[in-house]
Copies of this chain bind each other. A is one copy, B any other.
């Protein structure tokens, strides 16, 4: 079979040519370049790149077609196409049923007759897939197609349930695969993170995407990216969209930044149902006698009175081995009906996926109907919910349900933990989360498959994407394939938690650490002036300044050393901006290698797509073949304080730690309650290796203050607070929403960058 590159005009000739098995459209530059310009609008902090790249679009290059404007824009293009074939026969390149069907439907609407054929080899398939996706753009089946191709190679079958413009993966299938091929020793896992960043961010997402694009589309290695789902709050607040950028983007970008498949909404619903249950229970217990409570909790329905299964479970925990509600003694009834929650110990907060600063501290229960049981409370941003952390760490429905039940919401008046299970809400929470546990499948501009799943708040949780997505992706890429997964924030935050918490849970061993650096951030660490979002960059950052770069590399060096503590090879990816000079780039790579990095390479994925990250991909593949002596930093059996000290000293470079009285009492309580063997999830700023954001470079000789210690028992970690962590962002004077708009005719979303 052969593929032809052609323009709309000569399309019809195909109908005469019997040797042509497929039409692979190469849309003419002027047909879509403006759409693309729109799609690769310069990021706030990098300008003038798009026009530089427009040159690429003119060359008759198959990968151009992979640049995918928004659905509505593509519909236009498709209309153009089908107009030219009006009433004629068109041979389509079929990849898999659904995509083909949509295409045919669209062509038939214009009266065209269609036929199709299947490509046999992967390479053609993926090319074809790219071509088709350039014609039908972000149409819902495209991601599915992509993964179907991967699966086809692995001889796997997969059923998907489609969401608007994504595919959701059916958990069933994957659990089967785990069983079928559960050893993960040979799995290549590539764990990406970045140096201590500037407030602007250093291109975390773009490197992940550029790397998989390079691996799959240019080196023909099966690869998968696993990203976190961004919180919707900041998207409308100060941060704006987060789908990568330039030619290294996840598409459809709009959906990625909006509701997507509703996972975060599900978390909000589950989290708040539990919160409502806590306060309602306190109210009901305080206003009813044991007998009244018992009659309501175990009512007579159609003449029968019986415990629900979750109530029977509670009876067991209470050591009451009875199943007939009639046989409980007054004392047993009292034990059963009263959770005796101490309101002052409630740690479970309500959440919203909105930047609503006025909910940071509130008083609830002030209506008369709540009979004076008001108390102080707060709303956190939804991604800060423990349920999000659970979603990111769980390995199956059964495991998730167990974790949800174990979540501690408060203590009772004897200091014993009260859980979601005690409140009888475990099953309901699992039901609310039953779809969210399925990773959402999307794709990059170049058609590389991407899993978007979970996005725990990096400040108070571990901040990594989901274990489930990583495991599923590893099965999909097969042996020798690569899974690139995000480990948000610097090595001190993202990587340490990735290794000590996520890897412990998943049992997966990373093959390579990719450390993302930018000249700009290194200059800052070298003593450059402050960088603030919005404000124009100072000239130190826009003009060559080798001294600042050299001085700043101490931070890079430290990050490399931290990675080496875990025995995993490090590849430094220097995310090149157009303002960086060659000398600066070379200097960074030089120093990085001297500092023990396996390799250090510049990347231009932002402006050149996967092609701009080929060198990185090669270095990563080489590093992955190295001997790997991965080890955890600490033993779970160590006392909580010891574990905290190890992280503070070995990772942050602190002299020692200092515990507040609150922190001390919390630690001893958790140890008493039997939670002493959990891993530690430090809640520390990511803007400095220390606890003081303004201290750049490699601070030393500081004492790390631990103000408080909390626990996410369901997620399975203790999190010490280093200073105060805001868990609810606010809206600035001019939020992003001023620029966000919807065109009612094209349904095109504007300003979501």
Contacts and interface: CB of A to CB of B under 8 A. Distances in A.
A749 B280 contact: no
A738 B360 contact: no
Contacts of A734: 296-299
Interface stretch (A3-11, A158-166, A189-197, A462-470): A158-166
Interface string A734-753: 11111111101101011110
**Which of A362, A378, A732 has the most CB atoms of chain B within a 10 A radius of its CB?**
A362
A297 B737 contact: no
Given A163-B162, A297-B734, A354-B273, A376 B367 contact: no
Contact of A358 (B279, B352, B749): B279
Given A276-B731, A302-B536, A737-B425, A744 B164 contact: no
Interface string A356-392: 1111111111110110010010100000000000000
Interface in A227-278: 232, 236, 254, 258-259, 262, 265-266, 268-269, 272-273, 275-277
> Which of the four size classes fits the interface of chain A?
35 or more
Interface string A328-368: 00000000000000000000001011111111111111110
A698 B527 CA distance: 82
B401 A744 contact: yes
B159 A106 contact: yes
A240 to B, nearest CB: 12
Given A299-B534, A360-B370, A236 B737 contact: no
Contacts of A140: 161-162
Given A140-B162, A358-B370, A397-B744, A269 B353 contact: yes
Interface string A288-331: 10000100111111110000111100000000000000000000
A732 B742 CA distance: 42
A638 interface: no
B730 A427 contact: no
Interface in A94-120: 97-98, 101-102, 105-106, 108-109
A435 interface: yes
B301 A534 contact: yes
Nearest to A139: B161
B354 A364 contact: no
A404 to B, nearest CB: 10
A52 interface: no
Query: For the complex formed by this chain, how many copies does it contain in all?
Result: 2
A164 B232 CA distance: 21
B356 A275 contact: yes
A171 B750 CA distance: 19
Determine which residue in A296, A358, A365, A737 has the highest number of CB atoms from chain B within 10 A of its CB, and name it. A358
Nearest to A398: B744
A742 B269 contact: no
Chain B CB count within 10 A is highest, among A101, A109, A161, for A161
B357 A431 contact: no
B364 A358 contact: yes
Interface string A571-591: 000000000000000000000
27 contacts: A97-B97, A97-B101, A105-B157, A161-B162, A164-B168, A254-B431, A259-B432, A272-B352, A276-B357, A276-B731, A280-B358, A293-B733, A296-B732, A303-B536, A308-B739, A309-B741, A350-B356, A357-B370, A358-B373, A361-B370, A362-B364, A367-B378, A397-B742, A398-B745, A401-B744, A430-B742, A434-B747
Query: Shortest 4 CB-CB distances between A and B: which pairs?
Result: A427-B741, A428-B737, A265-B265, A361-B367
